[in-house]
């Protein structure tokens, strides 16, 4: 199977640039490759491995009749999340990150089919 994405594509897209070194979460330490000019550099080898395993999971889930929930937490991604979910005939939700975190933390379980929560 050909790779879903290449190291060159990730580099060209700037995926390796993380947060400023003064703003980071210690839980992410194992994914940090290094630091340059006050910015953490993300380990793209691990990123590639996780993209591939995620792809296999999504492919197998859909092939077995499963459903994927597309979640958008940023205004800039709203149109993209909605159009890709609709193209795949899958449910989606557009919600602010704080509300989404609160929904997950409170254990809300619901069937969501094309609902947009502002």
Q: Domains of the chain: which residue ranges?
A: 1-65, 67-118
Its pTM stands at 0.72
Q: What mean pLDDT comes out for the span 29-49? A: 93
Residue 45 has pLDDT above 80, yes or no: yes
Which helix (H) or strand (E) is 35 found in, with range?
A: strand 32-36
Q: Is 96 left (phi over 0), alpha (psi -120 to 50) or beta?
A: beta
Which helix (H) or strand (E) is 39 found in, with range?
A: strand 39-42
The per-residue pLDDT for 19 is 85
Biggest alpha carbon–alpha carbon distance for the chain: 47
Which residues touch 72 (CB under 8 Å, ≥6 apart)? 78, 80, 81, 82, 92, 93, 94, 95
Q: What is the pLDDT of residues 91-115, one digit of tens each?
A: 988 877 666 666 666 665 554 444 4
């Amino acid at each position: 199977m050909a790779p879903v994405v290449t190291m060159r594509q990730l580099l060209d897209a700037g995926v390796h640039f993380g947060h400023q070194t003064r703003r980071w979460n210690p839980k992410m330490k194992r994914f940090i490759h290094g630091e340059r000019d006050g910015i953490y550099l993300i380990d793209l080898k691990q990123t590639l491995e996780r993209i591939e395993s995620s792809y296999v999971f999504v492919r197998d889930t859909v092939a077995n009749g499963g459903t994927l929930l597309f979640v958008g937490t940023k205004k800039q991604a709203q149109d993209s999340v909605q159009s890709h979910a609709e193209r795949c005939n899958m449910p989606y939700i557009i919600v602010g990150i704080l509300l989404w975190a609160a929904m997950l933390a409170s254990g809300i379980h619901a069937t969501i089919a094309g609902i947009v929560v502002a």
